[in-house]
Structure 1
Amino acid sequence: MARMVARGLRLKRSTIIQTGVNYQQYYPSYLTPALLSSSSVIIVAEKEIQQQLVKEKIPRLQQWLNTHKIIATNYKQDLINNSTLYVINHHDWLDLIINHLLDNDIVTIIEEAENLPDIITKYLSQEITSQDWYNLGLFFPHHQNFIRENLAKLTKLIYTHPINPYNSYLLEEEETIILRQLCNLVENEKNHQKVLAKFIHFQKALSENKKYINYFTVNRSQGTFTINSSPLELRFSINHIWKNVPLILLSNYLESQKYPINYGECLGLNVDNFTCLKFSPDGESQNLNLYFPHNFPFPNNPEFQNRVTQEILALVSSLKINHHPIIIIIDDVPLQAQITSNLAAYFGSRVQLNSLNIGENSILVCDIKFWLNYQSELLTPILLIFATLPIPSLENPLIGAQVAHYKNQKKDWFRLYLLPLAIKILQQSTMSIRKNQGVIALLDNRVNYRSYGVNILRSLEPYAKINYVDLYWQ
């Protein structure tokens, strides 16, 4: 990997590397050539990793390599000729590249590139809060009654929506009409575009709703809501920013193939212009033990809840020693609460729900988002249980809108969108457990009886199928 990064830096050749591990395991492989390079280099990482790199990892590596490269957290073009290593966060980097403030001759290394689509989507999204509505009333004092009346109508409509796990909903026609009337207030205010930027953006998003996902998020406990707008297809918003920019994209997993075509298409990148490398798990040292029972009810079967509860209790009880935690991933909120309660009745305070405070003998019940966000910070589990396959829910408005977009194009939305996303989530969530050849239990019988189950199992290779769980030998 280090040789590939060094080659990309030397030739300014764009590269995509799928490492199969998280950044804690691969960071020396890109930092070393970046520090030894005679040219300036940009490293883009999330703020927490940026701080770790600047304060801990880079100084330690510089001392060991005996290098004296300038380290900076703010990009300045006048430092480029001084062989500087810039370590900046995603937001600052996007500000630079979208406004064409980066020198095209400098290579950019992007950490955790698997998150890049979500990061760019968040950057390009707009959110209107209650404070923004208040500011709008101050800006248009003669229209305050009009704003209040329409906000009251909008609030009433929003709170009639049934509760869902995401507290988010796509805007419906009546809500869109009200928002369009409110946003029309800014139509002729050309001299105050900066002050009214959010409303100007929403006016455009509402008029071009086939290009945007327009939705709202409710915080029922606080009695507030926000109106949100995100681009439907990133490539149309950002494909121009990649021109002549040498990139080295480092990720844990993007796709099953070496050339991540769908990933590139999402970002407007032509992967044919990239050198691509994909590391596969070592067949001996990173073999998974995979347990998936047959004759198990499907998740939509009324019997599933009781059967999955019994199976999880049996699996957890099968652990004879407690040197590693057990992780149970459940996205369904009522089922998550029931299983947590049942486990606590048997195992007491060992059971934790969505908590970072776990020990070697803990049993952690969490959703997939929590696990993906924090697995690198938690102790490596010996048993990882999935109650269901991590197929994204259509109740999530962002997922639902993407599925509708595929349907409108008459494309196979499941095999082209939901299934690759589920495989990606499964790959990313099982990386830490490979280190100690732990056990993954898939309690979703669709893996046995649906045609796409073969794709799911193939993505987990190398693995050894087991018919029962006996963890005493661990």
Structure 2
Amino acid sequence: MIEAQVHQQLREFLRDCGDSSWPHHLTLARLVARALRLGRSALLQVGGLSAYQGDYRLSYLVALLLWPEPAVLVVPEVTQQRILMADLPRLQEKLGATKPIHVGDRWPDPAFRGLLITTPAAWLADRLGRGGHFPSQVPTLLDEVDHLETWLGDHLTAQLTRLDWDQLSLAYPHHRNLIRDTLVTLTYTAFQHPSNPYQCYLLDQEACGLLQNLYQTLVAEDERAAESMPLPWQRFWQQFAPPDHLLWVAVDHQSGQIALHCAPVDLAQCVADLWQQQPVVLIGASLDQDAKAEIFRQRLGLEDLTCLKFAPHRHHDLVNLYLPTHLPLPNTRQFQAMAYQEIRRLLVCAQPANRGLTLILVNDLPLKGQLAAALAGEFGSRVQVEPMQVGQNTILVSSWEFWHQHRLTLPVPTLLILATLPLPSLENPLVAGRVAFHKRRRQDWFRLYLFPTAMAEMQRAIAPLRATSGLVAILDTRIHYRSYGQQMLEALSPTATTRSLQPDWDAQTGV
């Protein structure tokens, strides 16, 4: 059977190369081979450190290369480059594999029986748009599905810019005045909102009414008018379904222009047919606390799957946690001053100037700027806010998003300070809109949305430090005093935890 062949070939490869310490290579390879043979879908969680290092990919690549039938591999372009430039040449040389490999956004030929490597954007556009560029029922492996909701959101979000309004006026010259007046009213209303850091606002009932009136007027004269609209407008009207879709306006204060956005909240309903078109193997880092990934599957409409969550190595994946209990809660006036003093203590006691990068993650924009300014006043040019290049002793202050985007190119911090937990803020209009959606359905919005989002952020942020047993300090005392705090700590294991900062901390931990 293919499982035995994959097991034997991978074991010999690992024995000859000996450059990977991940203990689950053979199990992952057998599971992928079994899924290919049976045509049964699977969901596999490989863990944060393994996902960061990427070694696990060798396992599924061996299975895909030795599988005698056609298959599709869906990975982001950055990962494609690593696979094409490093992983595949090594495996092909050692295994003597001759399976054809093609990279592109469509199936190369009806008779093709090799491996097609494509991007999430190309694959989702075809599968959800019924493009027919990929044959049905071809086994498909999707890697890095921690980002699957983002990929789907990007594909399913309809957007209208000023250019789209101009094109609509050209398509409907008799209604140019109505189109112009609607845009002017929406723009004026958007700029009347109090400014927020997110530069976006949910469309209210009155704004939705203006858009509905515009649509009804344009299609009233001709039943086919909706089909002859410019494509961006067709996409927008297809998604325009308040209140079950998020409708928001993004404002650009510099240009004085707006952009309308419309996106579904319930992704499971939108992708219900996607998983029926072919067997899929989904691989991610830490998709859910539960091995069966019930919440992740519920959010994405995944039903009958083989699920497995690989256990982290008790020693190799360990990270040091410092969890002070004396700080006030983040929503109090005292938090900023005391958080600064705690960060200063950490920099002095646990991070001498010659001991590597310090990373301070702060999503709150005012707090980020204030902390950076205060630290720069004491530590000088060592303090930088989201630079593309850093020195060995830099104190880097950044958002969580910046760290996620650049963690593969920046040095691994020896000290990571989480000023607050990355729970999505209800002050963000898009977060508030999603929460309102769950409330209307009487669903547990914290368990289904806020908590899993925060845990995914934390696991990704901390993963690089697991390879070096680095120090992570969490200054948000909600991790002690809220019911979800213990769940977060359990999800972050294995850890070595302390609640007091000793003068010789760096000597004790080896940080």
User: Is the TM-score greater than 0.5?
Assistant: yes
Partner Cα distance (2:472, 2:454) in 1: 16
Answer whether contact 1:205 1:214 (CA < 8 A) is retained.
no
CA shift, 1:349, in A, is 2.3
2:24 paired residue number = none
Alpha-carbon distance, 1:10 to partner: 2.5
Deviation, 1:465, is: 1.3
Choose which of 299, 312, 319 in structure 1 pairs with 2:343.
312
Residue 216 of structure 1 corresponds to which residue in structure 2?
A: 249
CA contact (8 A) 1:186 1:200 kept: no
- Residue of 56, 66, 78 corresponding to 1:48: 78
2:55 corresponds to 1:22: no
Deviation string, structure 1 residues 86-133 (Cα, Å, up to 9, x no partner): 110112111322216333332111011111112112101100001000
* Residues 322 and 41 (structure 1), Cα distance of their counterparts in 2 relative to 1, 3 Å cut: farther
Letter in 2 for 1:241: L
CA distance in 2, matches of 1:195, 1:57: 46
TM-score, normalization by structure 1 = 0.94
CA contact (8 A) 1:8 1:14 kept: yes
**SS of match in other structure, 2:302:** coil
Q: 1:343 aligns with which of 367, 372, 375?
A: 375
Q: Structure 2 vs 1, CA of residues 194 and 39 (structure 1 numbering), >3 Å: closer, same or farther?
A: farther
Query: In the aligned structure 2, how far is the partner of 1:244 from the partner of 1:181?
Result: 38
Name the SS for the 2:242 alignment partner: coil
Cα separation, partners in 2 of 1:435 and 1:194, compared to 1, 3 Å: farther
2:106 and 2:270 map into 1 onto residues whose CA distance is: 26
Q: How many pairs are equivalent?
A: 471
Deviations for 1:274-314, whole angstroms, at most 9, x for unmatched residues?
A: 11121222111221211111121111111111111111111
Q: Secondary structure at the match of 2:101?
A: strand
2:94 maps to 1:67: no
The one-letter code sitting in structure 1 at the alignment partner of 2:352 is K
Match for residue 324 of structure 2 among 277, 293, 296: 293
SS in 2 for 1:465: strand
Deviations 1:128-150 (A, max 9, x none): 00100011111122222222222
Superposed counterparts of 1:394-409, under 5 Å: 394-409=426-441
Counterpart CA distance in 1 for 2:279 and 2:32 is 12
Shift of residue 78, structure 1, vs aligned partner: 6.5
Further displaced range: 68-77 or 160-169: 68-77
Q: Distance in 1 between matches of 2:274 and 2:302?
A: 10
In structure 2, the partner of 1:242 is 275
SS in 1 for 2:271: helix
1:267 is aligned to 300
Q: Which residue of 2 aligns with 1:254?
A: 287
5+ residue gaps, structure 1, are: none
The 10-residue stretch of structure 1 (377-386 or 312-321) with the greater mean CA deviation from structure 2: 312-321
Aligned match of 1:161: 193
Q: Does 1:230 align with 2:298?
A: no
Further displaced range: 144-153 or 386-395: 144-153
> 1:302 aligns to what?
333
User: Match of 1:105, SS?
Assistant: coil
CA distance in 2, matches of 1:194, 1:327: 52
The whole-number CA distance in structure 2 between the counterparts of 1:78 and 1:373 is 32
Partner residue of 2:213 out of 181, 198, 204: 181
1:105 aligns with 2:137: yes
| Cα distance change of structure 1 residues 58 and 224 upon mapping to structure 2, 3 Å threshold | farther
Aligned to 1:141: 173
Residues 14 and 247, structure 1, Cα contact 8 Å, conserved in 2:
yes
**Matched AA of 1:111:** D
Match of 2:496 in 1: 464
- 1:83-102 to 2 correspondences below 5 Å: 83-98=113-128, 99=130, 101=132, 102=134
Structure 1 residue 61 displacement after superposition = 2.9
In structure 2, what is the Cα distance between the partners aligned to 1:432 and 1:37? Answer: 33
**Corresponding letter in the other structure for 1:90:** P
Aligned to 2:9: none
Contact 1:17–1:249 (8 Å) recurs in 2: yes
Q: Give the Cα–Cα distance (whole angstroms) in 1 for the partners of residues 447 and 125 of structure 2.
A: 35
SS in 1 for 2:506: coil
Q: In structure 2, which of residues 365, 387, 397 is the aligned counterpart of residue 333 of structure 1?
A: 365
C-alpha spacing 1:124/1:416, structure 2 compared with 1 (3 Å)? closer
Instruction: Report the more deviating stretch, 338-347 or 121-130.
Output: 338-347
Pair 1:193-2:227 in alignment: yes
Structure-2 separation of matches of 1:77 and 1:152: 45
Question: What amino acid does structure 2 have at the position aligned with 1:22?
Answer: A
CA distance in 2, matches of 1:194, 1:365: 50
* Aligned counterpart in structure 2 of residue 410 of structure 1, from 408, 420, 442: 442
**Distance in 2 separating the partners of 1:191 and 1:85:** 43
Q: CA deviation at 1:82?
A: 4.2
User: Contact 2:159–2:236 (CA<8 Å) still a contact in 1?
Assistant: no
Shift of the alpha carbon at 1:173? 1.9
Q: 1:8 to 1:446 in 2, by over 3 A?
A: same
Q: Assess, with a 3 A threshold, how the Cα gap between structure 1 residues 376 and 131 changes in structure 2: closer, same or farther.
A: same
Q: Distance in 2 between matches of 1:434 and 1:194?
A: 55
Distance 1:278 1:221 in 2: 47
For 1:446 and 1:121, the matched residues in 2 are separated by 30
Matching residue of 2:458:
426
> What one-letter code is carried by the residue in structure 2 that aligns with 1:15?
A
Structure 1 residues 84 and 389 mapped into 2: Cα distance closer, same or farther (>3 Å)?
A: same
- Cα distance, 1:204 vs structure 2: 4.7
Which residue identity is paired with 1:112?
A: E
Look up the SS of the partner of 1:222 in the other structure.
coil
1:280 matched residue in structure 2: 311
Opposite residue 316 of structure 2, the aligned amino acid is S
Return closer, same or farther for 1:268/1:186 CA change in 2, 3 Å cut-off. farther
In the alignment, structure 1 residue 366 sits paired with structure 2 residue 393: no
Listed one character per residue, the Cα deviations across residues 317-375 of structure 1 (whole Å, up to 9, x for unaligned) are 22136343111000111110111112222222222212231232221111111122222
Cα distance in 1 between the residues matched to 2:80 and 2:112: 21
- Report the Cα offset of residue 64 of structure 1: 3.2
Q: Which residue of 1 aligns with 2:35?
A: 8
- Name which of 478, 486, 489 aligns with 1:454: 486
Would the aligned equivalents of 1:340 and 1:351 in 2 still touch at CA under 8 Å? yes
What are the ranges of 5 or more consecutive residues in structure 2 without an aligned counterpart? 1-27
Mean Cα deviation higher: 146-155 or 156-165: 146-155
Tell me if 1:378 matches 2:410: yes
Greater Cα offset, 86-95 or 142-151: 142-151
Native 8 Å contact 1:308 1:443 kept in 2: yes
Kindly report the root-mean-square deviation, in angstroms, between the aligned alpha carbons of the 2 structures. Answer: 2.0
Measured in 2, the distance between the counterparts of 1:275 and 1:412 equals: 26
Contact 1:22 1:376 in 2 (8 A): no
Q: CA deviation at 1:205?
A: 4.0
**SS of the counterpart of 1:69?**
coil
